[in-house]
Structure 1
Amino acid sequence: MMGERRIEQPALFYEFSLDGHVPQDHLLRAIDRFVDLDGVRAHLAPFYSAIGRPSIDPELMIRMLLIGYCMGVRSERRLCEEVHLNLAYRWFCRLGLDGEVPDHSTFSKNRHGRFRDSDLLRELFESVVRRCMAEGLVGGEGFAVDASIIRADASRHRTAVDGATGLPAEAAGRAVEEYLAVLDDAAFGAATPVTPKYISLSDPASRWTAAQAGPASFAYCTNYLIDLDHAVIVDVEPSTAVRQGELAACRTMIERANDRLGLYPERLAADTAYGTAEMLDWLVHDQGIEPHIPVFDKSQRDDGTFSRADFNFDHQADAYTCPGGKLLKSSRRAFKVPRHKAPADDTIRYRASTHDCQPCPLKTACCPNQPYRKVTRSIHEGARDMARDIARTDAYITSRRERKKVEMLFAHLKRIVGLDRLRLRGPNGARDEFLLAATAQNLRKLAKLAQQQPQASPA
């Protein structure tokens, strides 16, 4: 039998608890335990005027941004709509049932002003890292570093100009000003002297790259420095999408983690892109960090002739010995004033004598097309040899396996957080998005580990 039609009769009084309508296992309830924003207002106080209309609570805006990046809501306009409708979002933002949600334009105004001037998002990220350290999730002994390409908000069809001609005189805007400000930055304009093929008018600091699968596009790189114990992101830095920019960002992150967080790793795991001679020398001699990194080496020959590995180097004599027993020296003359200046390209060239090479029976297997054999050696070869020795240990095999954790974080960044394409433009926009995304990933990890811990039974 069909039931009677329900006639809505509004009650005079309601008893409603917002906290009771948020499930105990909700992600935001677990994250809320680790979000400490007590110092936000004091940190931003110098950037507010003492007079005028009261502003939107900055803690509210930070909580809304954390919801957006934790739950994969990229649009700030849509984020305001979701916070207005979702009870769990309102509970996390301390809005109650009748709290007013700020307009989406408020985020842009504060982002381009107070948030960047005070470096608030960096402070927020580091406060979460310190909480991870307090929870025992950061060992500080082994780190891993890697970079991932994130497409910029720049069209590859309509806004590109020839990189050789540079920007036109009429080009202007915030993104162009930021591009000019980072021309001397080691991770951006100064990373490489190579002129890019194209420059985007809407986001000139983004780099034209074809490193990703599919057609070439404008992009940035997000660089992660993670602790290998629980894959906590201890630092994040944007860079241009070239290898030299990634190396500069790696140095910045290691030094900053030491200065601001007191983290100094014993070893660093990375892929071959970080195995350059200069990078290995900086890790070994300047920082005292063991490089668990494959050496970037192109000395191996594939034409059947002897490679550099077939020659033995004598450190005391500063000479190579060829398979035929002859010496290859960097200099065959005695100078009155010894020459200690390093070569311009940081590469020392060791040459054999023509009188030794011409009658040698191994010449066809050594230098068939040259009158004598030449072997090059980097001035940083000592650090490269150390990396090769580490590569033969069991600890290196473990580091290579653990290094995959950073790649899993990039997969999570693009598929769960939804940051496969930037929404903000310019280096500052990329930095803001990368910091918020890394903060959200660390908070989600804290929440996940907290949910896995057994609850203490009541006494």
Structure 2
Amino acid sequence: MMGEQSAMQEELFYGFSLERYVPADHLLRAIDRFVDLSGVRQHLAPYYSPIGRPSIDPELLIRMLIVGYCFGIRSERRLCEEVHLNLACRWFCRLGLEGDVPDHSTFSKTRHGRFRDADLLRELFETVVRRCMREGLGGGEGFAVDASMIVADAHRQRGIETAEELNPTAKRAVAEYLATLDDAAFGAATPVEPKFISPVDPAARWTASWGGPAVYAYCTNYLIDVEHAIIVDVEPSTAVRQAEVTAAKTMIERTHDEFGLWPERLIADTGYGSAEMLNWLVHERGIEPHIPVFDKSKCKDGTFSREDFAYDHSSDTYRCPGGKLLQHYRRRFTTPRTGVGKDNTLRYLASKHDCDACALKPRCCPNTPARKVTRSIYEGARDMARDIAKTDAYQTSRYQRKKVEMLFAHLKRILKLDRLRLRGPCGARDEFHLAAIAQNLRKLAKICSRRTVIPAS
């Protein structure tokens, strides 16, 4: 017998509980245990007037933003619709069945004003990191650092060649661009001028570093604890390698200042293996660099490379494969000279007399009178990195480095942050912080789902 549903009838009273209808294994229920917004109102208090009409509760806006970034909802209009219709979202946002969802324009107004003035999103990110540490997920023994390029909200075919052509009416975009010209992570990262500048987001870098067509982009830089892949710091930068190295230094120092974490080793790719960076890690910070050395001394024409010359530290000389000495200077100067070039290297020269009589000259310096070998003033740190690369711990670090790449894949494929919605360095910073908050909360929910959770305080 075929059944038939009776017509829906309105009832006078309903016995309904949101708490009962949200599944126990729902992601928002798992995340809710770790969301601590108790300090939000106090943090924002100086930025609100004590009189006037009450504003939208900032805690509600933050919870809605967390929902959006956890589920990859990129549109704030779409987010408001989802929170309005979804019972789990209403439960997480403390709206109940009849609570009003704020208009989408409220996010833009509050973000550009109070949230940025109070640096609220940075404060929330640090709160989540501290919670991860309380749960035992941030030991700080080994860190990995890397950067990933995120396309900016700027049309790649609409650009200008010089900053003088910028439209002065685009106040926010131009102001943020001018404010970052002396920033080592943005305008001052490299003296090379970009080929084109976006008129709507001039701080975005015109780049084709990923091998495809050139686009305007920013970079998000992650510093993670490799044991559990917790993001301990995040920093935006322009899309050039020098800026990424600067961001890495900033994150390492800030993590120590804010959380007291100091890694024993840092894992990174070859882009962070410059002599200056390795020297900073080894001699200034006491961190083992599990990083491939950036080295261009290998000769590809069949002649001897620098590694074929033996360096003697006591005499500060090189000995060539033919047994002859290469010296920094062959005579004394009245005024002592350091001999350090602009590229922070020292030059060691062989005697022309020795090279002319050497049978190995065709394999050593066939096109020059005498052989020259350069040595970085930071070669000690480079040698340490090379020695570490021969250990079993280094091979383990190579596998652990993939965890930061997996976070970037999760960021783009699951959280849908392959293109920015907000413009300017501040907009990129806001989006990167919210995405990192969402990733850390999801990690907490996944790892601690079967643990006895420590109550938020």
- TM-score (norm: length of structure 1): 0.96
Query: Partner of 1:59 in structure 2?
Result: 59
- CA drift of 1:449 comes to 1.1
Query: Partner of 1:166 in structure 2?
Result: 163
Q: In structure 2, what is the Cα distance between the partners aligned to 1:37 and 1:61?
A: 11
Q: In structure 1, what is the Cα distance between the partners aligned to 2:429 and 2:327?
A: 49
1:193-204 correspondence runs (5 A)? 193-204=191-202
Query: Partner of 2:28 in structure 1?
Result: 28
Q: Deviations over 1:303-358 (max 9, x none)?
A: 11000000011111111111111111111220233224743321111111111111
Q: Deviations over 1:245-291 (max 9, x none)?
A: 10000000000000011111010000000000000000001111000
Q: In structure 2, what is the Cα distance between the partners aligned to 1:196 and 1:213?
A: 17
Query: Partner of 2:378 in structure 1?
Result: 380
Q: In structure 1, what is the Cα distance between the partners aligned to 2:278 and 2:413?
A: 33
Cα distance 1:394–1:71, how it changes in 2: closer, same or farther (>3 A)? Answer: same
Query: Partner of 2:188 in structure 1?
Result: 190
- CA drift of 1:454 comes to 8.7
Farther off after superposition, 43-52 or 434-443: 43-52
Cα distance 1:326–1:5, how it changes in 2: closer, same or farther (>3 A)? Answer: closer
Query: Partner of 1:351 in structure 2?
Result: 349
Q: In structure 2, what is the Cα distance between the partners aligned to 1:318 and 1:271?
A: 30
Cα distance 1:355–1:78, how it changes in 2: closer, same or farther (>3 A)? Answer: same
Query: Partner of 2:75 in structure 1?
Result: 75
Matched residue SS, 2:163: coil
* Kept in 1: contact 2:147–2:221 (CA 8 A): yes
Q: CA RMSD in A?
A: 1.3
Matched residue SS, 1:20: helix
Query: Partner of 1:113 in structure 2?
Result: 113
1:161 counterpart letter in structure 2: I
Farther off after superposition, 321-330 or 434-443: 321-330
Query: Partner of 2:420 in structure 1?
Result: 422
* Kept in 1: contact 2:142–2:226 (CA 8 A): yes
- CA drift of 1:451 comes to 2.5
Q: In structure 1, what is the Cα distance between the partners aligned to 2:402 and 2:280?
A: 23
Query: Partner of 1:337 in structure 2?
Result: 335
Q: Percent identity?
A: 73
Aligned residues: 452
Q: In structure 2, what is the Cα distance between the partners aligned to 1:169 and 1:432?
A: 24
* Kept in 1: contact 2:143–2:263 (CA 8 A): yes
1:130 and 2:130 correspond:
yes
* Kept in 2: contact 1:167–1:199 (CA 8 A): no
Query: Partner of 1:38 in structure 2?
Result: 38
1:290 counterpart letter in structure 2: E
Q: In structure 1, what is the Cα distance between the partners aligned to 2:290 and 2:195?
A: 34
Matched residue SS, 1:160: coil
- CA drift of 1:177 comes to 0.8
Q: In structure 2, what is the Cα distance between the partners aligned to 1:70 and 1:166?
A: 37
Q: Deviations over 1:121-141 (max 9, x none)?
A: 001001101000000011110
2:159 counterpart letter in structure 1: A
Matched residue SS, 2:203: coil
Q: In structure 2, what is the Cα distance between the partners aligned to 1:30 and 1:222?
A: 27
Matched residue SS, 1:23: coil
Query: Partner of 2:252 in structure 1?
Result: 254
* Kept in 2: contact 1:90–1:97 (CA 8 A): yes
Question: Which 4+ stretches in 1 moved above 4 angstroms?
Answer: 1-5, 452-455
Farther off after superposition, 169-178 or 394-403: 169-178
Cα distance 1:454–1:178, how it changes in 2: closer, same or farther (>3 A)? Answer: closer
* Kept in 1: contact 2:166–2:199 (CA 8 A): no
1:254 counterpart letter in structure 2: I
* Kept in 2: contact 1:272–1:295 (CA 8 A): yes
Matched residue SS, 2:144: strand
Q: In structure 1, what is the Cα distance between the partners aligned to 2:164 and 2:80?
A: 37
Q: Deviations over 1:93-132 (max 9, x none)?
A: 0000010111111111111111111110001001101000
Query: Partner of 1:436 in structure 2?
Result: 434
- TM-score (norm: length of structure 2): 0.97
Q: In structure 2, what is the Cα distance between the partners aligned to 1:42 and 1:404?
A: 39
Among 268, 289, 292, the residue aligned to 1:291: 289
2:84 counterpart letter in structure 1: H
Matched residue SS, 1:198: coil
Q: In structure 1, what is the Cα distance between the partners aligned to 2:322 and 2:347?
A: 19
Matched residue SS, 2:164: coil
Query: Partner of 2:15 in structure 1?
Result: 15
1:372 counterpart letter in structure 2: A
Query: Partner of 1:361 in structure 2?
Result: 359
- CA drift of 1:412 comes to 0.3
* Kept in 2: contact 1:161–1:167 (CA 8 A): no
Matched residue SS, 1:214: coil
Q: In structure 2, what is the Cα distance between the partners aligned to 1:422 and 1:246?
A: 18
Matched residue SS, 1:199: coil
Q: In structure 2, what is the Cα distance between the partners aligned to 1:17 and 1:167?
A: 60
- CA drift of 1:211 comes to 1.6
1:287-326 correspondence runs (5 A)? 287-326=285-324
* Kept in 1: contact 2:167–2:199 (CA 8 A): no
Unaligned runs of 5+ in 2: none
Q: In structure 2, what is the Cα distance between the partners aligned to 1:48 and 1:101?
A: 21
1:115 counterpart letter in structure 2: F
Q: In structure 2, what is the Cα distance between the partners aligned to 1:146 and 1:3?
A: 60
1:190-269 correspondence runs (5 A)? 190-269=188-267
Q: In structure 1, what is the Cα distance between the partners aligned to 2:77 and 2:146?
A: 32
Q: In structure 2, what is the Cα distance between the partners aligned to 1:212 and 1:307?
A: 30
Query: Partner of 1:272 in structure 2?
Result: 270
* Kept in 2: contact 1:150–1:220 (CA 8 A): yes
2:272 counterpart letter in structure 1: Y
Q: In structure 2, what is the Cα distance between the partners aligned to 1:4 and 1:185?
A: 69
2:448 counterpart letter in structure 1: A
* Kept in 1: contact 2:129–2:440 (CA 8 A): yes
Q: In structure 1, what is the Cα distance between the partners aligned to 2:80 and 2:211?
A: 34
Q: In structure 1, what is the Cα distance between the partners aligned to 2:125 and 2:101?
A: 24
* Kept in 2: contact 1:167–1:201 (CA 8 A): no
